[in-house]
Amino acid sequence: MCGIVGYIGRKREELQDIILDGLRKLEYRGYDSWGIALVSNPSVAVKKYVGAISEATLRFDDGVNAHAAIGHTRWATHGGVCEANAHPHLDCTGNIAIVHNGIIENYAELRRRLERKGHEFSSDTDSEVVAHLIEENMKAGMSFGMAFREAIRELKGSYAIIAAHGGSKALLCARKDSPLVIGMADHGHFICSDPVAFLEHTKKAIFLDDHEMGVVTENGVWIIDLERDVLKKKNPIIIEWDVSRAEKQGYPHFMEKEIMEQEDTILKAVMQPEKVIEKAARMLNEAYGVFFVACGSSYYAALASSYIFSKVAKKHINVVDASEFKYYEHFITPKTLVVAISQSGETADVLDAVKTAKKKKARIMAITNVMGSTLMRMADFTILMNCGPEICVVATKSFTAQLAILETLAYATVQKAKEVRKAYEDLVPHIRDVLSPGNRNFLDGLAERMVEKHHIFCIGRGISHAMALEAALKIKEVTYIHAEGFAGGALKHGNIALIEKGTPCIVFAPEDETHDEIVSNAMEVKSRGGWIIGIGSRRHEVFDEFIKVPHTEIGNAILSILPVQYLAYRIAVLRGYDPDKPRNLAKSVTVK
């Protein structure tokens, strides 16, 4: 779950800044250490650092006359966090540098073989073997390109790799199960884990597929199909993202900015071309068995929508955590529709679930934010979330965009797509209202009173059960306070034992069929000393604190999660944490 970036082109004076800037944009993928290699003829110069890249300034002060550069920001998998384990890794000669995202599963056996041949390793990583494998192949007389290709063939596991050689005018890259995209600018070419790293230079991109290799020079890009050993023609696509969306635009953190963007992004998500919604509704209606598969917040969006499908469309949806999906494969037939929901479109568990479904010849619909992502390319049909790059590691605007799209689809399956669009247009002022300065001010005060708590519980019923789960996830991810979400009815079956005097309990109490029962559950908590924070449109005496959200028939769950996103954000900031980069987390979970 690291981020990699490479550049080769005419902007030679700015090489270091280009790579550094690209790494900053990719830092959400990993942020324990980082490094850059400048490639000149015939040598490679490397600098590595432990810690965050955000504020770093980097200078190769020996005036290296480089023509290309590669960089890496790390989320440790094999080997601790230290300078030696940071990428780029070099071969024994110091002329071959590689950066890698993924896990080389057979690295131990490759390393033993290479060590027997005299190679000396400088790190504990799985990645370093790649540099030495290339070196070994070149020693045997192969060109850099050939040596790279043969090295890739030996790898088992997942990888997006860029390799550079001091004597070569090309950067080489290859991928399997980790994302890799080539950006084509007027002044040169980029190779990155995510197009956000090059968006300010170009929107023209070629996404690599598994078992493809790229040969990238200042003036050209060649793609080789490694399975058939032939050159492959791939046309670039244009990424329609607004570059400024990847900047903080005056906000102290991306998390706050992305929370506040939701008055735009939710509507954008719903305003899909009519044909897209019609086709998706047809696929849902024609399927014999529908599975929604996703992870984390995307899973909770799927779970929430299953209540809407049940109520509005009388349709049963099997909602499965993507990492568990393969154990249901016995139920999958060619008539099954698998809807894979993933902001990044790169989550390994989601892709794995889709592979399982494809083997059974099921149809695949993707709901993803990233145009050209692996998920999009694997799916038969895709709905793009259109909420722009989400940089903060935790999901906010992508969660509400997913939920808005799924709610739209539920209505569309019963020919009410127009109704739902109109309802979402009417939702915008309510979103503004929930996140108004006055309401945020109130939440700031509430955050101050929650900052020292050790446990926070969240409860809801029906669709609000999913909101309770999402609320708890948001709180624990950024504040590191233990938070748990439950179905209101589940409390008394054990969890209520955890309630003590003053324990905060966030109660989702919308004006729907769950209202009275969740209020009773809140009373059960209160009578054991719990501090009740109610979210709904009507104040109730059981609430010690009340967060008012307007009542709406459509989009109400979305309104109810917004204040919790902001509350989690504020608590994190008050506790002195960076909510954009929570410890141990990475945005794109590309390992299983």
The residues that touch ligand F6R, with contacts defined as CB under 6 A, are 295-298, 342-344, 347, 350, 394-395, 473, 477, 589
Output the smallest distance, CB 543 to ligand F6R, in A. Answer: 27
293 near 353, Cβ under 8 Å?
yes
222 near 172, Cβ under 8 Å?
no
What residues are paired with 215 via a beta bridge? 172, 222
Per the residue annotation, which of 2, 192, 387, 505 is the catalytic one?
Answer: 2
Q: Is 403 strand, coil or helix?
A: helix
172 near 182, Cβ under 8 Å?
no
Cis omega (within 30 of 0) for bond into 195? no
For ligand F6R, the closer CB: 96 or 557: 557
For ligand F6R, the closer CB: 387 or 554: 387
For ligand F6R, the closer CB: 44 or 295: 295
Task: With CA atoms as reference, report the closest residue to 455 among 489, 492, 502.
Answer: 502
For ligand F6R, the closer CB: 298 or 556: 298
Output the smallest distance, CB 415 to ligand F6R, in A. Answer: 29
Output the smallest distance, CB 36 to ligand F6R, in A. Answer: 27
For ligand F6R, the closer CB: 131 or 561: 561
**Does an H or E element contain 133, and which?**
helix 128-139
DSSP strand E in 343-450: where? 363-368, 381-384
Output the smallest distance, CB 455 to ligand F6R, in A. Answer: 19
Rounded distance between C-alpha atoms, residue 575 and residue 419, angstroms: 43
Output the smallest distance, CB 399 to ligand F6R, in A. Answer: 7
Output the smallest distance, CB 297 to ligand F6R, in A. Answer: 4
Rounded distance between C-alpha atoms, residue 563 and residue 475, angstroms: 12
Going 399 to 403 to 409 to 415, the CA torsion angle's sign is: negative
For ligand F6R, the closer CB: 449 or 575: 575
CB-side exposure of 384: number of CA atoms within 13 Å? 15
User: How far, rounded to the nearest angstrom, does the alpha carbon of residue 449 sit from its chain's CA centroid?
Assistant: 31
For ligand F6R, the closer CB: 90 or 339: 339
Per the residue annotation, which of 48, 203, 268, 587 is the catalytic one?
Answer: 587
Output the smallest distance, CB 23 to ligand F6R, in A. Answer: 20
| Cβ atoms < 10 Å from Cβ of 494 | 9
Active site (annotated) includes residue 587: yes
Write the DSSP assignment of 326-349 as a string of letters.
GGGGGG--TT-EEEEEESSS--HH
For ligand F6R, the closer CB: 4 or 138: 4
Using only C-alpha atoms, the chain has a radius of gyration, in whole angstroms, of 25
Active site (annotated) includes residue 355: no
Task: With CA atoms as reference, report the closest residue to 357 among 322, 406, 392.
Answer: 322
Secondary structure of 240-272 in HEC code, one letter for each residue = CCCHHHHCCCCCCCHHHHHHHCHHHHHHHHHCC
Output the smallest distance, CB 586 to ligand F6R, in A. Answer: 8
Cis omega (within 30 of 0) for bond into 504? no
CA angle centred on 152, ends 221 and 369, rounded to 5°: 60
Output the smallest distance, CB 360 to ligand F6R, in A. Answer: 21
Which string of b and e fits 47-74 if b means at least 16 CB within 10 Å? bbeeebbeeeebebeeeeebbbbbbbbb
Rounded distance between C-alpha atoms, residue 277 and residue 426, angstroms: 20
For ligand F6R, the closer CB: 5 or 473: 473
For ligand F6R, the closer CB: 110 or 463: 463
Output the smallest distance, CB 342 to ligand F6R, in A. Answer: 3
Rounded distance between C-alpha atoms, residue 83 and residue 50, angstroms: 6
> Which DSSP letter does residue 211 get?
T
Residue nearest ligand F6R, Cβ-based: 296
Rounded distance between C-alpha atoms, residue 5 and residue 190, angstroms: 7
Known catalytic residues?
2, 587
